[in-house]
Structure 1
Amino acid sequence: MSPAGVGLRATVLCLVAWAGLVAGDRVYIHPFHLLVYSKSSCEQLEKPGPEMPKELTFTPVPIQAKTSPVDEEALREQLALAAGKLEEEDRMRAAKVGMMLNFLGFHMYRALGESGSEASGTVLSPTTLFGTLASLYLGALDPTAGRLQAFLGVPGEDQSCTSRLDGHKVLSALQTIQGLLVAEGEAGSRSTLLLSTVLGLFTAPGLRLKQPFVRGLAPFAPITLPRSLDLSTDPDLAAEKINRFMQAVTGWKTDRPLSGVSPDSTLLFNAYVHFQGQLKGFSLLEGLQEFWVDNATSVSVPMLSGTGTFQHWSDVQNHLSVTRVPLSKSACLLLVQPHGTSGLQKVEAITFQHKFLTWLKNLSPRTIRLTVPQLTLRASYDLRDLLAQAKLPTLLGAEANLGKISDDDLRVGKVLNSILLELKADEGEQPTESAPQPGEPKALEVTLNRPFLFAIYEHDSTALHFLGRVTNPLSAV
């Protein structure tokens, strides 16, 4: 078995073992029962049905068709509203999907690092990555569906219907995870977070998409834009048109726009995510501050600073410290800083090999004056490249069976994830810093002016929304 196969098998076994621990001595229930088809659903699926009528397929409009810009405030309100109506089963399902996407996120983050991105930094969204693959699973038939299900972390077991992953339940859980991140704070206070996900389905002219598939994507990406254009005559021009279209619709600038479109592809499946967080109680320091890229090189960057009680832990054995900063009612920013000469790659290997979440129990409150760079990070990566790096190059290759997306000759080109992540000071009224009182402990100075790691996660579902490495705040990732 290949190293990737061993890693994938180990991941699945870990997931099953975790689920078994949760079940304890109770009567056996399928460890993923909240995510697979129910018996009644299977009975409906197994009934022979008529072939999909043509009116349930459609040809995407041309890319030059007039399109309304994305309203991010409306998207946030929609997510927050959904989060306010959750049942206990919704939360349990979100926790299960959060666990699965964390395993997959760590695995693919390592693959991204191995692809040669260490020099400029890395940022990956496990939630967006998992959602993209789950969306493609929704459009897949066997054997592709079975392989995608295993890669997402759910073993097919006996291959019966009740062991098959229900893609609609997974995408609904992802909507819950997104909603919990931006949920309003206590007493209805407004969240300062933005999280917007937009899907672009770019097809060759004349290719027909199935309406049930496109409608089924709405929980994960409420804005889905099917558009057609010529992908074969001039691939570079096609990429330029797509970039212009997405920037016009979203207003998000990408430093690494789409390129290298394969002329024989008939579908590009691109997910775009924008996250904007504000650090409450932090203010922008006057002037630019030094950030040391390495021991001999520094750059001048805008820095944010704030004093408060934050969860903190210093790991003397591994020469690093961890600081947790609240971003909203349930969203947290975790900052991992190497100590002394400890190399960033060594710390990263320790941090992002499943020790990450276990560390949270070691955090304890501490008065800290925290100084961090203001961040605007952009990244784009092709999931097919990451799958090749993970020794699974054929999972979405030419032989992939995506018959639930279209009955036409479907050849998937790019499967892109593009990220725009911003962290800045709270624009509201800044608190005045009071003088320390007698007997109060002195604030610990924590300044991230050297390369560091970060994660943004939602603590109810434990889902990781972003993992990243910052080596130079002025460089696009």
Structure 2
Amino acid sequence: MAREEAMVFVMYGFTYLTALAWLTGLTADGSVLPNPEKLLSRPLRREQEVNQQLNTSALNTALAFEPYRDLATSTAAEQQQHNILFSPLGLASALVLLSRVSGAESRSQALQALGLAADATQQSVDATLSALADLQRSLALHEGGGVQRAESAAGTGAGIGTTPGEETGEEDAGNTSDAYDGPEGRNDTEGGVHPGGQLRVWSSLHVDGKPSLDYNSFMLRPQPTSAFNRSFDTLMKDLEASDKLELTNYVHFKGRQPFERRHTVPRSFQLNATASVDVAMMLGDDSLEAMMLYDTNCSATVVRLAHSERLASLLLLPKAELQPLEDCLSDARMSFWRSNLKPGRAEIRFPKFQLRKSYSLESLLRKSGVSSVFSHLADFSGISQKTLKLAKAPHEVMLEVEETEYEDRGRPDIMLDFSVPPRITFNRPFMLIIYDDLTGLVLLMGRIIDPTDV
């Protein structure tokens, strides 16, 4: 009886990660949480209050900048010429799951990578995990529109056994408009914000070799959680005949930039000193006000463009080679950029592209101190007393960057300015950091060496 109760607790640990409890209104002990619609209507917590629960600097360092540096300085010569894309938010999602199913050592490693001290109290642990689940849920639900918003919720593994409308509290879940309807049911384009962010995150644990949700299914199905609905019974049964587990971690972000589609034209992108490719280059003319700066220490131009009210991108264009900029990366440098960006007008050209990358969670997390769960001594006593091995742990991320649907055909008169606006053209290798503007947490980051290499 005690063992059965322990198993049930672990299963609810899985759903804790995916914020199922928030969306279904049930807690692990069966009590009822506040109505999800009321939760959605709560005003966002101030950044200071959020950071009291999330050690954003530690998270960014361990899950964003350190893994990026490892990927960028790979000893394989060919790797130096490749695109890089991964998701620190996806890594955090996987770590929360691992912390729920692992024994003491692996759990401690996972929690430390999430910014918790080794001697953290259970209260601190619960607060951090709760804040991460709340953040993931908030971003998934608020940064999309209509059916896309429902898919975002489904992508986190939320809302099992419910319809998309029930998951999100949306009455018009069938709305397929690409534009995001703001609080007043209108397109909010004030302040240079042209909404169009769609974020989905998915993490799950299952027996290796058994049918599971692959990335293509994750992308195509509006509710990729039906298999997860029976994962507890299935996992327990499958473990009777297997000792191998697989942890899947998928992330998708579709970000529409504030450019009009009619201005997109083919242009040359310089890969290196001798090679170039043609890409579809978007244009933001000098009527668009952006936040920008030139960092002399990193020899790079930094441009901030908003995807929505919360999600934004830092676009980093080095003056020459990319490596000095990569060497400059840190959480402190990112904070400097965010604090010193100034509004200005510029003609911005940026490539339209789609990029998908896959890595092993082991390779991304080992340098962050998470190693025991991937070894032959892995302890999964949270779900079984038998010796289990994590056979596979893929981390797959897709990023789509395109124009908004929005076209300003009725622009107000603009005062004549006879000065020549600066031109910022991303026609050579650059970097990007997609982050939550409320907390400063990095959600995706990478470098684009070749925007045509999908």
| TM-score, structure 1 normalization | 0.67
Give the match for residue 2 of structure 2.
50
| Equivalent in 316, 328, 334 of residue 336 of structure 1 | 316
Counterparts in 2 of 1:243 and 1:280: CA distance versus 1, 3 Å: closer
1:101 aligns with 2:59: yes
Q: Is the 8 A contact 1:453 1:468 kept in 2?
A: yes
Q: Is the 8 A contact 1:268 1:412 kept in 2?
A: yes
Give, in angstroms, the shift of residue 309 of structure 1.
0.8
1:195 aligns with 2:165: no
Give, in angstroms, the shift of residue 437 of structure 1.
3.8
Give, in angstroms, the shift of residue 352 of structure 1.
3.7
Task: Show CA shifts across 1:301-350 (max 9, x none).
Answer: 111101211111112343211111111112211111111xx320111211
Task: Show CA shifts across 1:83-137 (max 9, x none).
Answer: 5335648982467434442122212221222345331111121111111112211
Task: Show CA shifts across 1:27-74 (max 9, x none).
Answer: xxxxxxxxxxxxxxxxxxxxxx93325994999xxxxxxxxxxxxxx9
Give the match for residue 234 of structure 2.
none
Give, in angstroms, the shift of residue 194 of structure 1.
1.1
Give the match for residue 461 of structure 1.
439
Give, in angstroms, the shift of residue 249 of structure 1.
3.8
Q: Is the 8 A contact 1:326 1:332 kept in 2?
A: yes
| Equivalent in 92, 96, 102 of residue 49 of structure 2 | 92
Give the match for residue 413 of structure 1.
391
2: CA distance, partners of 1:79 / 1:103: 32
Q: Is the 8 A contact 1:149 1:165 kept in 2?
A: no
Q: Is the 8 A contact 1:199 1:270 kept in 2?
A: yes
2: CA distance, partners of 1:83 / 1:432: 33
| Equivalent in 149, 165, 170 of residue 111 of structure 2 | 149
Q: Residue type of the partner of 2:42?
A: K
Comparing 312-321 with 290-299, greater Cα deviation is found at 312-321
2: CA distance, partners of 1:172 / 1:352: 25
Q: Residue type of the partner of 1:52?
A: E
Give, in angstroms, the shift of residue 470 of structure 1.
0.6
1: CA distance, partners of 2:258 / 2:266: 21
1:295-334 alignment runs, 5 A limit: 295-307=273-285, 308-334=288-314
| TM-score, structure 2 normalization | 0.70
Q: Residue type of the partner of 1:197?
A: V
Q: Residue type of the partner of 2:435?
A: Y
1:362 aligns with 2:324: no
Give, in angstroms, the shift of residue 438 of structure 1.
3.4
2: CA distance, partners of 1:472 / 1:361: 30
Give, in angstroms, the shift of residue 172 of structure 1.
3.0
Task: Show CA shifts across 1:176-201 (max 9, x none).
Answer: 35456559646344542211123343
Counterparts in 2 of 1:265 and 1:242: CA distance versus 1, 3 Å: farther
Q: How many residues are aligned here?
A: 366
Give the match for residue 29 of structure 1.
none
2: CA distance, partners of 1:410 / 1:391: 20
1:214-229 alignment runs, 5 A limit: 228-229=210-211
Q: Residue type of the partner of 1:330?
A: R
Counterparts in 2 of 1:442 and 1:436: CA distance versus 1, 3 Å: farther
Q: Residue type of the partner of 2:73?
A: E
SS of 1:475's partner is: coil
Q: Is the 8 A contact 1:114 1:389 kept in 2?
A: no
SS of 2:357's partner is: strand
Counterparts in 2 of 1:103 and 1:180: CA distance versus 1, 3 Å: farther
Give the match for residue 133 of structure 2.
171
1: CA distance, partners of 2:335 / 2:103: 34
Comparing 347-356 with 330-339, greater Cα deviation is found at 347-356
2: CA distance, partners of 1:286 / 1:88: 38
Counterparts in 2 of 1:367 and 1:242: CA distance versus 1, 3 Å: closer
Counterparts in 2 of 1:246 and 1:196: CA distance versus 1, 3 Å: closer
Give the match for residue 26 of structure 1.
none
Give, in angstroms, the shift of residue 160 of structure 1.
5.6
Give, in angstroms, the shift of residue 243 of structure 1.
6.0
SS of 2:80's partner is: coil
Give the match for residue 246 of structure 2.
268
Comparing 130-139 with 445-454, greater Cα deviation is found at 130-139
Give the match for residue 255 of structure 2.
277
Counterparts in 2 of 1:120 and 1:84: CA distance versus 1, 3 Å: farther
